[in-house]
Structure formats: C-alpha cells, structure tokens
Structure 1
Amino acid sequence: MTELNELTASEAARVLASGEASAEDMMRACLDRVAARDETVRAWAFLDPELALASARAADRHRKAGNSRGPLHGLPVGIKDIIETADMPTENGSDLYRGQRTGRDAECVARLRNAGAVIMGKTVTTELANTCPSKTRNPHNPEHTPGGSSAGSAAAVADFQVMLALGTQTAGSVIRPGSFNGIHALKPSLGLIPREGVLMQSHTLDTVGVYGRSVEDLALITDSMAAFDASDAFSFGGRRSSLTADLNLETPAPRFAFLETPAWAQADAGARDAIERVVDGLGARCVRESLPSPFDRILDFHATVMAAEMLTYYGPDAEASPGKVSDLLKARLVAARNVRAGDYVEAQLARGAINGALAALLDRYDAVLCLPAPGAAPKGLGSTGNPIFNGLWTYLGVPCVALPRLSLDGLPLGVQLVGKPGEDGKLLRTARWLDRELAG
C-alpha cells in the first residue's frame, strides 16, 4: 500500500476529502520522511514540526466543521525561501537576510492558504536564488547536485518529503532541478502567478513555478495561485482559464516540433541520444524544425538581460555588505558591470521578433519538444549544473514543462515541452498526453 507521503497531490486531495486520512496524518507522514532522510537530502531551510502539525490540525478542524477551504485543503506545500511567509523566516539563502521575518505572506502564499494548503516549511534556495550551490543533495545520489536555485523544493518533492512545492526561475531554476530530480515541473507563462513578496532578481525574467508528481498536480496548485497583479507591469494580462479544466478537454493527439536550440552543442552525447529516441518514437507526430535569426543569438540575449537586471537589484546590497556575499556572486556582479546599455536594449527589443517566430511555429504544432538540461545531474557539489537549455525560454516568457521520463547513467533526465505565452492549459494537456505515452 502506498504511504501517504508518496501519493501525488491529486491522490492525496481525494484521500483527504474522503476522510480516509486527516491532514495531520498526511503531515506526520511527510515529517517522518524528513526525519529519516534530512541528514542526506538537506532540503529544508526552515522546518518547525510543531508549527506544521498545528497548521494541519487547524485544517482538520475546518473540514470537520464543514468548511472545506478549497482544492488544496490539508495538503502540505513547501515554499522556496525567497518567497515571504508570515509565520516563518525568509532568509533568501543569504547572510544578508539571516533571521529576517517580514511578518507577511507573498501573494502566492496567501492564495495557497486560501485554497486550504498547509505551509509545511521553507525549502533551501541557493544564495539569492543565484549561482552559488546550496547544502541540498540529489536524493537519487547525494554525490550529485540537485540543481538550483530551487534545490530544496525539487529535492523534497522527489524524496517524498512533501507533495507540492514552489520554485522560481530566472534562468533554469525550476525546469533544470525538475529534470535532475526526476519530478514534474512547470515554469508557467511570465506573470501567471503573482510575484509580490518574492525576492526580485530580474523584473523581465523572474517567474514563480511549481513542482509535483504528476501533470494534474501542476495544474492543481497553479490554479490556486494564478491571478492578475495590477501592481506588476509584467503580470500576465491575457485570458485565464482553469488549467485543471483544460486538461479534460477533448482534443486530437498532439504534434511536436523538435528544436535542438542553440544550446545543442553543449549537450552530453547520452542526453542527445535519449531525446533523439523520443523524437524517433513519436514518428510523424514530431518534426525537426528550426527558428530564424535572431534565435541563434538568444543565449546571449538572455545572459545580457539577466546580468544587467541582477546587478540592478543585488548590486547595492552586495556593495553595502560585501562580507555577506559569496565570492562567486561577487564575481558575477563584477562581470555584469561590463554589460553595455546598447546590448541590453538590443536584447530587450529582440524578444518580440523571436516570440513572433515561435508563435508562428506553434500555430502548426502543439508544443516544442527539447532537452531540459545538457544531461543528468552532474557529479559533485561545486555547481548546480548548466541552465543553458532553460534560460532562452525564460527570456521569452513562455510556459515550459519538465516530464520525468528519461534516465541517463542511472539518474533522471527529463523531457522539456514549451508552449505559447498564456496557453499553459494547452501545454499541460499536451504534456499529459506525452507523459502517458512515454510512461508506456
């Protein structure tokens, strides 16, 4: 029999709603797993078992009184520690914010609570959600990186310590850890989930994303948070629909455009072979395609935008307290000072042309299929891995999904799908079809 902590979030929600188990039972199962594995995986930046259990008991009392709060009622959720929580510290993985308690929830956390979620704790992030590796280990092999910057969230879901967790992505911080840890991950359209109360690194790139154990899980938690934020110029203002409802629409079997992308040369031979087998297995449903220039320069465009905006947000604090910033981040900030204003403007303007070409391609296909990382999680803990297969899509603000259906050298490797901005529901529906196809 499947242990409570090993259920998908969608399964767990049904178990809780039926009364087969309580929210306290669910939380205890998760906490027991943490106790057994924390020394190895190290996924949590803050975890107070008594607070978590008290919150679970409160959810049970609400349900017993006939006051189910929403689709996440009683489900434990992990929150990346750059996202504010009223009753827990938010330290951003940095000595700059050690001991910080803001006393408020980020908008996405407030929406999770309104949907009935029980906030279990804060998961480990790399320093300021940037490049410096964290203490977290890959649960499949602790000698390998779990990726970053959403290291704790991905590892905790993969290790059955929590069913759902939040991450963020500025380059590859949701999709790459999803691939490395062998779980389902969604980086939604830019601004689909509100960013208020989330540490800002780049206002044109930062995106709140989610982890789960099925495509249905991704839809379930995203539906609970998606909302327009009038205070954020990059909040998605288009038509919104229920992603869960979109999953159930009857549509023809999808077609895929396979893109090597400009990152292809940096992929491991094994990763190339693995994704090529997926392409070949899909037959006529998957066609090799390409995009015109300036798509060939997109990696540089993303790097330019990220560097300039990171310097804007992190530079002043790093200069004020240099002893509280790692040498690795300092070096990145120094390099960012070499970004020229003209290059930054060019990179911002190029986004429209590339998005137009991608949209035209996706008028003929249901999703782009590509690698989510150059390979499986690298051995060693001195790096979080290369985000080169992710940053280009983050730059475009398009939704991306990682599916845990490949492996390489005994470690997970995902498959990445990409859709049009605002068509997250269609992308998830397409992803579920492929997920089932690859699962056999």
Structure 2
Amino acid sequence: MAIDPRLLTLPVAELTSRLASGALRASDLAEASLMRIAEREEAVGAFAWFDAEFVRRQARILDEWRGRGRALGPLHGVPVAVADTIDTGRVPTRNGTPADAERVPEADAAIMERLRAAGALLIGKTETAELGYRQPPRTRNPVNKAHTPGVASSGSAAAVAAGMVPLAVGVEGGGSVIGPAAYCGSVGYKPSFGSIPRRGTLALAPSLDTPGVFAADVEGAAMLAEALFGYDAADPATSHAPHPRLLDAARSTPPVRPTFALVRTPFWDQASDDVQAALGELAEHLAERCFEAELPAIFSECEIHFERVLEAEMARSLVGYGQRRGEFLSAPLRETLERGGAILARDYLAAKDWQSVYRAGIMAVLDRCDAILTPAAPGPAPEGLDNPGSPVFNCLWTFAGLPTITLPLLEAENGLPMGVQLVGRFGEDARLLRTARWLEQTVLKGETSE
C-alpha cells in the first residue's frame, strides 16, 4: 500500500481511532513521518537525534502488540517527538550542548515512561537551546527559514508545524513552549505548574520549569497532555490529586459561551502593530463576550523578579557545567551563570515572594472570565536566526504557574503566523482547554459570538 504523508494532517483523534480499529498500522504512520522528515528536515533542522530504523523497529513492535489482541494505550502508534532535554533510555540526550555530546542516559525520564505506556511512537529527539536556555539552536522556522523558530523547545514546535509529527513535547521555563509555537504556527500548551513530572528532565529553574506539549489543534494537545499528567514521587511539585480528564473536557461544549478578558499587560508597547491590530479585531469579533482588564502598575516589575529567580536557580542547577565543563558553554550562558551566582539569598527569596502576589492579582481578573486573552509573543517571528524573540508576554504567566495555551489563529502582513495566548486559573486546565477549543472552532469556522 502506498503511504501518503498527508495522513499526518488528520486529527490525532482520528489517527488513534484508525490505529485501534486496525484500519491503519503504526508502520504506516511511521513511514508517513519518515517521508515528511526526508522532505523537510534539511531545510528545518528540527531534530537533534533521529534514526529511521529505530522508528521502524518501534512501529513493528507496536503492530505486533496490537496483532496479539493486547490492550492499547491512548496514543498507540502515534508519532511523537521529544525535546533533547528529556532523558530517553539508551538514546542520546545531549541537552543542546557539546558538553553532553556523548551522553546516553540509561533510564527514561518520567515523561518518556508515560509516553511508552501510552503506546506512543518516538520519532526522535528535537533540537533545543543550549541547556534549554536562550542560545538559538540550528532549527529554522518552517514557514520562512529566514526567520527564527523561537528558542529552547523550538525543534519540537517546528517538527509539528512542518508536519513531520502530529505531536511533540518540550519544556517551558518562560516562553520556551508558547513562544516557539506562536512563531512556527502550532498549538502550544503549558499546563499548571506541577501537572507533568520532571524527573529525568534537565533542571534549569525548578520553581519555573514546566513540561508542555505541541500539536496541530487543541484536541491533540489535550490528548498528549492527559497521557503525561500525574503524580511522581521524585518531583515534589506534583500532587496526589487526580488529574482532570483533559480530552473529554476539550471536546465538550461550554455550558455558556465563554467570556474573555483582553489583558494587554504592562508590556503592550512592545507588541508590534500587527499584534495590536489583530488582537483588537479578535476582541471586536467576540463582541460582548470580551472585555478589557488592566493589571496594576506593579506588574511591570514582573520581568525583574522573574529573571532574578530564573538566574539564581540556573546558577545552582547548572553549577556542575560551569565548574567542570565551562569551556563548552557559550559566553552568554557563562555570564548568566555568573550573574545568577552573585544574587543574594535575600534578593532571591524576596523575588520568589512575588510569585503568589502576581498569581493572586491575575486570579482576580480570572474571577470575571473564563480565560485571559493576550499576545503569545511581541509579533511574528523576527528575521534572523540569532534573534530568538522576546519572552516578555510569557514570563508573567510562567512565574505565576498558571496554565497557558497559544492558538495559531492570526497572521501578520508578511504571512507569518501569530499566536493568540489564553491564560486560565491555576489547576483549571480542563476549563482552559475547553475554552481554547471553543475559540479555535469559532474563529476557524467564522462563527459570530452572538
């Protein structure tokens, strides 16, 4: 049977249904993904590690598993790419740095354990920034290779946007999921802090690090995230509380039409004309379902507090790299670690105190709506691969630990995608996904808000 790479454009829910029924084999999807990678990888550069025979071998095992009538996981046979800061047993995990060029972990990260348990097909490890921070990797924007794909988890965002895989995983530390998704034109979802365990994932800033997912639509993001949610004894940020049924919630119809609060944040003057105009038009489209809300002036200092916590925790988490393998690190990263190491404990703790203050202020807005509507990035992807863009529209929500999702609903005058970011209440990820899918369907179908 001839394999059509357009299989990968089908909704993930349809792919899983076909795989479960036997109408589609894991080997078929694997070959479709390999064909797309052969077509686009040279131009995009999304993968840090990739082995076609490894992919085919996994697919054969998954097909044999189904052929024996065994129970199937929710992602059985679905191709997934994973950022190179997430340990994968007996597969290179190089953390985006030559310091780890020979690193091959023995054990899987918690994320990989859950992907395997769900039956996912690992396609490869995606490019990431140096130690997951801000030095751009070699990945290029799949929409226009002269423009940045963002930074950190950009390989995962680009792999999904280029149609190489339907799903991918990355890690958010302050724009590392939402930014690349917005620039490349995919859905990027960062759940509430502590939702997905981080055991086996490179620790950058433990107070901020949050694994997230990429997909072509909200339903796909919900399906992947649900397979990853849950408690892990090795990650104190996770909870014993049962996690929400994200996929069912995303598919459900809101009991009433959602209400949105357009929050420009104190950084609105950094948004491009394209972003400002597009967000304004979207608010007009939503009519009475959208109102404007302002954050207190003190929120303008969030970037300072965020950077202080980030750099202090990076200096502690990455001290081994600086002390023993500093010659492999870029000058900007060495400077960041030195700066973080010089932060006084009292200043770090004072900055951390602001996390709960900001969250409380944002929750006061969320008491009046279903989700906050705000830019995902200052504009479309900047030109040039050395300019990864600014996380200024992401750090506040990450600092407060709130769930966010970006939808590729807008387009700049130059044809590049722009993301619409929605922010939800802490722990109410299911509601956020339901609201996001409603907005996704409303805009894509051209419905009105009356």
Question: TM (normalized to structure 2)?
Answer: 0.95
Within 2, Cα distance between the matches of 1:201 and 1:18? 42
Say whether residues 1:291 and 2:295 are aligned partners. Answer: yes
CA deviation map 1:204-244 (0-9, x unaligned): 00000000111110110111110112332222455521101
Q: Say yes or no: does 1:172 pair with 2:184.
A: no
1:411 counterpart residue number: 416
- 1:264 aligned residue (261, 268, 272): 268
| 2:384 is aligned with 1:380 | yes
The whole-number CA distance in structure 2 between the counterparts of 1:262 and 1:95 is 38
Does residue 1:30 correspond to 2:33, yes or no?
yes
Q: Which amino acid aligns with 1:15?
A: R
- Contact in 2 for aligned 1:262/1:299 (Cα 8 Å): no
Question: Any idea what the Cα deviations from partners look like across 1:228-277, whole Å, max 9, x if unmatched?
Answer: 12332222455521101222254211001111112212111221111111
Give 3-state SS (helix, strand or coil) of 2:227's partner: helix
Q: Which one is further off, 245-254 or 23-32?
A: 245-254
Shift of 1:2: 7.6
Look up the match of 1:214. Answer: 217
Alignment check: 8 A CA contact 2:111 2:197 kept: yes
Equivalent residue runs for 1:52-67 within 5 Å: 52-67=55-70
Q: Deviations over 1:6-64 (max 9, x none)?
A: 22322211221232221101010100111111110010111110011110111111111
Question: Is 2:320 aligned against 1:316?
Answer: yes
CA distance in 1, matches of 2:181, 2:239: 24
Task: Name the structure 1 match of 2:339.
Answer: 335
Where do residues 10-409 of structure 1 align in structure 2 (5 Å cutoff)? 10-236=13-239, 238-247=241-250, 248=252, 250-292=254-296, 294-408=298-412, 409=414
Q: Does the 8 Å contact 1:68/1:116 carry over to 2?
A: no
Distance (Å, rounded) in 2 between the aligned partners of 1:238 and 1:431: 24
Q: Could you tell me how far apart the structure 2 residues matched to 1:176 and 1:167 are?
A: 12
Between the aligned partners of 1:322 and 1:65, the Cα distance in structure 2 is: 51
Q: Is contact 1:189-1:236 (8 Å) kept? A: no
Distance in structure 2 (CA, Å) of the matches to 1:131 and 1:397: 20
Distance across 1 between alignment mates of 2:150 and 2:113: 27
CA distance in 1, matches of 2:96, 2:281: 39
Please give the TM-score of this superposition, normalised by the length of structure 1: 0.97
Partner-residue secondary structure (3-state), 1:294: helix
Distance 1:58 1:8 in 2: 23
Does the residue aligned with 1:3 lie in a helix, a strand or coil? helix
Amino acid at match of 2:72: R
Counterpart contact for 1:168–1:209, Cα < 8 Å: yes
d(CA) in 1 for partners of 2:11 and 2:317? 37
Report if the CA contact (8 A) 1:79-1:167 is conserved: yes
Distance 1:381 1:416, change over 3 A: same
Contact preservation (8 Å) 2:5, 2:35: no
Q: Separation in 2 of the partners of 1:351 and 1:29?
A: 44
Q: Is the 8 A contact 2:230 2:240 kept in 1?
A: no
Distance 1:166 1:218 in 2: 10
Q: Deviations over 1:161-188 (max 9, x none)?
A: 0110001010100000110011111000
Q: Aligned match of 2:434 in 429, 432, 435?
A: 429
Which is further off, 258-267 or 236-245?
A: 236-245
**Structure 2 residue matching 1:298: 3-state secondary structure:** helix
How many residues are treated as equivalent by the alignment?
440
Structure 1: how far apart are the matches of 2:429 and 2:249?
9
- AA partner of residue 396 (structure 2): L
C-alpha deviations, 1:302-321, integer Å up to 9, x for none?
Answer: 11111111111123312322
Cα distance in 2 for residues equivalent to 1:421 and 1:238:
14
Paired AA for residue 90 in structure 2: D
Q: Taking every aligned residue pair, what percent have the same amino acid on both sides? A: 40
Contact kept? 2:253, 2:438, Cα under 8 Å: no
User: Any runs of at least 4 consecutive aligned residues in structure 1 with deviations exceeding 6 A, and if so which?
Assistant: none
Q: Within 2, Cα distance between the matches of 1:250 and 1:429?
A: 7
Distance apart, 1:324 and its partner CA: 0.5
**C-alpha deviations, 1:116-167, integer Å up to 9, x for none?**
1111110111110011111111010111111111011000000110110001
Q: How far apart are the structure 2 equivalents of 1:304 and 1:73?
A: 42
Deviations 1:364-390 (A, max 9, x none): 110000000000000001121111111
Aligned mates of 2:15, 2:155 — CA distance in 1: 21
| Distance change in 2, residues 1:293/1:344 (3 Å) | farther
> What letter is aligned with 2:268?
W
Name the SS of the counterpart of 1:208 in structure 2: strand
